Structure 1
Amino acid sequence: MYLHVQRLINDIEADEPDPAAANALQEGLGGQFGEMRTMMQYLFQSMNFRGPAGKPYRDLLQGIGTEEISHVELIGTTIVRLLDGSPRYNGKKTDPLDEPGAGGRTPLENALHESNIHHYLVASQGALPVDAAGNPWSGSYVYNSGNLVLDLLYNLMLESTGRLQKCRIYEMTSNKTARSTISYLIVRDQAHENAYARALETLGVSWASVLPIPKTNAEKFPEVRKLLDLGLQSKQYSFDLTAQSEAGRIFQGMSPSKDGTQLDASEQAPAGVPLTIAEERFEEFSPGLDPELLALVQATAELEMAEVQPLYGPIPPPEGTS
């Protein structure tokens, strides 16, 4: 099972909208080496895993795959924030939707010459499951051979290529919103490289002689340097509420990155940061629960929210009931 904590795994720094940066980030979301790919590949490998004796390797795949779900959420939310308000429609929320915005410009004019018109035409200034060229994400990207060594080698290559591409995206934009997320993912990609490298080493595979990790010098990026100084490249989370993960039996010892750090699998999950919902976009005819709809809801039935107990397992019945 999977549980969702309503927090982002990392903070997204505020900055001006930047639709071009948003489109570049689409490669990191829905591209061949993006977060949707890593999420699906590791989860399918863990679901299809065979051999009870190999449980620590299955748990490692599952833990990283679960983290990748949060990366999809993080990078998708970042794309939304880079797009949200990018038409710079400065009219009032109550203005008629078919009248030009402030300065005589039509509200969505910039959609005609920005990188991906579908960000406005289809997604209402939101993220899409596509790459930077607009190609839909494909399940054919997922590699799951059923052979543990082959899968781990492929995963190491996947993380290395993903980190390389994110370093390139970092160099494409100075936008703080984009760079805060890109930097975090660069460092976490390195952590996952360390995980798969260590797993291969326990299986007697001299990966460094056959698969040299590309040197990106990402530590020169100030946002990346800050996270490296915190040792984030050497942590791996279990995301396991029941404390049954055995991934820590693999993710231990000196880091394969040879940066002098020790691998640490002692944390269940990072604390995260508050997750907020984007504002309505009236120029996109995406008002959310506008006053008219809210009045209709209140006129028909009040929304009642059941209180969920903060525990794992079934919720006990109220006292006095059976």
Structure 2
Amino acid sequence: MYFHVQRLINDIEQDEPDPAAANALQEGLGGQFGEMRTMMQYLFQSINFRGPTAKPYRDLIQGIGTEEISHVELIGTTISRLLDGSPRYQGKKTDPVDAPGAGGATPLSIALDTGNIHHYLVGAQGALPVDAVGNPWSGAYVYNSGNLVLDLLYNLMLESTGRLQKCRMYEMTQNKTARSTIAYLIVRDQAHENAYAKALETLGVNWSATLPIPKTNAESFPEVARLLDLGLQSKQYSFDLTAESEAGRIFQGLSPSQDGTDLDASEQAPEGAPAPISRERYEEFAPGADKELIALIAATAAMEMADIDATFGRLP
């Protein structure tokens, strides 16, 4: 079972909207080496895992896969915020866009020449399960051979390539909203590289000769350096409410990154950051809730809360 805490795994800095940066980030979400790929690959590997004696490896893959769910949420939310209106438009009540198309205004004209037009035509200024050129995400990306060494090697390659691409995305934009998420994912990709590298070492695989991790200068990026100073590249979370995960038997000792840090799998989950719901977008008719519908929503919510109170008692 999976439980959801209504917090983002990392805070997203505020900056002006940037549809072009949003489109670049789509590769990190729905591309061949994006977060949707890692999430589905690791979860399917853990679901199909064979061999009870190898449980620590299953727990490691499952814990990383669970974290990847939060990465999908984080990068999708970041894309949505980068698309929140045309650049430098923050939805002021005095703007004509609050009455869509009023006076011949074209509030969505930005969609014609910036970023991905589908963000505006299909997604109401939100993330989509596609790559940066609009190709739909495909389950064919998922690699699940059933062989532990092969799967771990492939996972290490996947994290390495994902980190390399995110370093390129960082170099494409100065937008603080985009960079705050990109930097976090660069560091967490390194943590997952460390996890799979350590797992391969315990199986006697000389991974550094077989699959050298791409060298980048990511530590020179200010946002990345700050997270590295916190040791985030050497932490792995269990996301386990029952304290049954054995991933810590693998994720321990000196880091394969050779940065002088020790691997630490003692934390259940990070603290996270608030996850507010985005504002309405009148020009997209989203959510398109008029006064009557809002009243119906409120009445329905009141009935549901009354039912919960009657069943479980009033919540604090």
Calculate the TM-score normalised by the size of structure 2: 0.93
Supply the distance in 2 between the matched residues of 1:15 and 1:68 (Cα, whole angstroms).
25
Give 1:249-288 correspondences, 5 Å limit.
249-288=249-288
Please, which of 92, 95, 99 is the counterpart of residue 96 of structure 1? 99
Do the aligned partners of 2:236 and 2:267 also contact (CA within 8 Å) in 1? yes
Deviation at 1:98, TM superposition (A): 2.7
User: Matches of residues 28-107 of structure 1 in structure 2 within 5 Å?
Assistant: 28-86=28-86, 88=89, 91-92=94-95, 95-100=98-103, 105-107=105-107
Alignment of 1:1-322 (within 5 A): 1-86=1-86, 88=89, 91-92=94-95, 95-100=98-103, 105-297=105-297, 302-305=302-305
Q: Which has the higher helix share?
A: 2
Q: Provide the residue aligned with 1:312 in structure 2.
A: none
Percent of aligned pairs with the same residue?
79
- Contact preservation (8 Å) 1:160, 1:193: yes
- Give the distance between the partners of 2:228 and 2:32, measured in 1 at CA: 26
When residues 243 and 86 of structure 1 are mapped into structure 2, their CA distance, relative to the original with a 3 A threshold, is: same
The offset of 1:240, in angstroms, is: 0.1
User: Aligned partner of 1:49: which letter?
Assistant: F
Contact 2:83 2:126 in 1 (8 A): yes
Q: Secondary structure at the match of 1:279?
A: coil
C-alpha separation in 2, matches of 1:307 and 1:267: 36
Q: CA 1:260–1:108 in structure 2 vs 1: closer, same or farther (change >3 Å)? A: same
1:130 partner amino acid: V
Which segment is superposed worse, 80-89 or 191-200?
Answer: 80-89
SS in 2 for 1:110: helix
Q: Measure how far apart 1:317 and its partner are.
A: 5.9
Per the alignment, in what secondary structure is the counterpart of residue 4 of structure 1? coil
- Contact 1:184 1:227 survives alignment (8 Å): yes
Shift of 1:301: 8.0
Partners in 2 of 1:266 and 1:300 — Cα distance? Answer: 42
Alpha-carbon distance in structure 2 between the residues aligned to 1:135 and 1:163: 21
Shift in CA distance, 94/256, structure 1 to aligned 2, threshold 3 Å: closer
Residues 75-122 of structure 1 show CA distances to partners (whole Å, capped at 9, x for unaligned) of 00000000012263665478532324xxx7411111111221000000
Please give the per-residue CA displacement for 1:46-70, whole angstroms capped at 9, x wherever unaligned: 0000000000000000000000000
Distance 1:298 1:306 in 2: 12
RMSD: 2.1
Change in Cα spacing, 1:94 to 1:190, as seen in structure 2 (3 Å) is closer
Output the TM-score relative to the length of structure 1: 0.91
> Shift of residue 210 of structure 1?
1.0
Tell me whether 69-78 or 91-100 shows the greater mean CA deviation: 91-100
How far apart are the structure 2 equivalents of 1:181 and 1:22?
11
Deviation per residue, 1:168-202 (Å, 9 max, x gap):
00000000000000000000000000000000000
Q: Say if 1:257 and 1:125 are closer, same or farther in 2 by CA, change over 3 A.
A: same
The alpha carbon displacement at 1:292 in A equals 3.0
Tell me the distance in 1 between the aligned counterparts of 2:11 and 2:78. Answer: 10
State the secondary structure of the residue aligned to 2:102: coil
Deviation at 1:303, TM superposition (A): 4.2
Q: Are the aligned partners of 1:93 and 1:282 in contact in 2 as well (CA < 8 Å)? A: no
Which SS does the other structure have where 1:305 is aligned?
helix
Report deviation, 1:257: 0.2
Q: Helix, strand or coil for the counterpart of 1:170?
A: helix
Change (3 A) 1:297 1:150: closer
Q: Distance in 2 between matches of 1:292 and 1:317?
A: 30
Give, in whole Å, the separation in 1 of the partners of 2:230 and 2:259.
Answer: 13
Contact 1:183–1:223 (8 Å) recurs in 2: yes
Which amino acid in the other structure matches residue 99 of structure 1? A
Contiguous gaps of at least 5 residues in structure 2:
none
**Alpha-carbon distance between aligned partners in 2 of 1:152 and 1:302, rounded to the nearest angstrom:** 49
Query: Distance in 2 between the 1:41 and 1:147 partners?
Result: 14
| Superposition deviation, residue 289 in structure 1 | 3.8
Q: Which amino acid aligns with 1:31?
A: G
Answer yes or no: is the 8 Å Cα contact 2:231–2:261 preserved in 1. yes
Q: Distance in 2 between matches of 1:86 and 1:278?
A: 15
| Contact map agreement 2:13 2:180 (CA 8 A) in 1 | yes
